Amino acid sequence: MYVNDTYKTIENISEGIYKDKKSKFLAFAFPILSEEAVKEHLQKLKQTYYDANHHCFAWRLGLNGDCFRTDDNGEPSGTAGKPILGQIKSHNLTNILIVVIRYFGGIKLGTSGLIKAYKTAAAEVITNATIIEKTVKNFYEISFSYNSMNDVMKIIKEENPEIIRQQFNLDCSMQLSVRLSKSNDLIARLGKVDTVKIVYLSEI
């Protein structure tokens, strides 16, 4: 069965700017791995740009981008966060936060004007970013007796996971990293070897 284990995100923080009728829209994009990271970035931006009128944002997380949120931060409903998220989705990005900070210029833009402004600012910051493809990997620790060494190493050679750490004594252990799509095959084969114990560590 085919397992998708790659996703597109941005490599580093990027910035953009859009101006319309004296309003200024500052856009910032961040690569993220958790909602905690979202809170940290928002807090720093609100401290730096404390005098701005609005801090609107959208974020998306997960391999398939199933976890997301938008915030209009005082702008009319659906005019800020949703257009920002729309740009994230149209570029098929995930694990990303985009914040657009508005300084009001005294002239109202109207609903369509606001949607265009936030959409354009988000598109600008994505254009300025470096988009990369990342692979989801699982991390495991395996332990086994020295007598099982040959069987284990044969599987390791054939399945080719990344060996992060290894220790060979009477009791042996290895820390492995393997892409998600190959995890089941590796673990199934190792699980059939006598004395092998497998501990799942994390996914990233």
- pTM: predicted TM-score of the whole model, two decimal places: 0.81
Q: Indicate the range of 46-50, 80-84, 94-98, 105-109 predicted with least confidence.
A: 105-109
Average pLDDT value for the chain:
92
| Fold adopted by 6-134 | Ribosomal Protein S5; domain 2 (3.30.230)
Domain ranges within the chain, ordered by starting residue: 6-134, 136-203
Average pLDDT of span 7-15? 95
Q: At a CB cut-off of 8 Å and minimum separation 6, what does 191 contact?
A: 198
Does position 1 have pLDDT exceeding 80, yes or no?
no
Nearest by Cα to 129 from 88, 70, 81: 88
pLDDT of 164: 93
Report pLDDT for 5.
86
Q: Is 177 helix (H, G, I), strand (E, B) or coil?
A: strand
- For residue 92, give the 3-state DSSP assignment: coil
Count how many Cα atoms sit within 13 Å of the Cα of residue 63 in the half-sphere of its side chain. Answer: 12
Domain 136-203 in the same topology as domain 6-134:
no
CB 174, CB 141: distance < 8 Å = yes
Q: Are 125 and 16 in contact (CB under 8 A)?
A: yes
Span 117-122, average pLDDT: 96
pLDDT band at 170 (very low <50, low <70, confident <90, very high): confident
CATH code of the region 136-203? 3.30.70.240
pLDDT of residue 108: 86
Q: Is the pLDDT of residue 3 over 70?
A: no
Model confidence at 2: pLDDT above 60: no
Question: pLDDT tier at 64 (50, 70, 90 boundaries)?
Answer: confident
Q: Is 126 helix (H, G, I), strand (E, B) or coil?
A: helix
For residue 23, pLDDT over 60 is answered with: yes
Average pLDDT over residues 87-97: 96
Whether the pLDDT of residue 39 is over 80: the answer is: yes
Q: Are 105 and 21 in contact (CB under 8 A)?
A: yes
Tens of pLDDT, residues 133-150:
999 899 999 999 999 999
- The share of the chain scoring above pLDDT 90, in percent, equals 79
- For the beta carbon of residue 161, count every other beta carbon within 10 angstroms: 22
How long a stretch of residues is the chain?
Answer: 204
Q: How confident is the model at residue 155 (pLDDT cuts 50, 70, 90)?
A: very high
Contact by Cβ (8 Å): 91, 8? yes
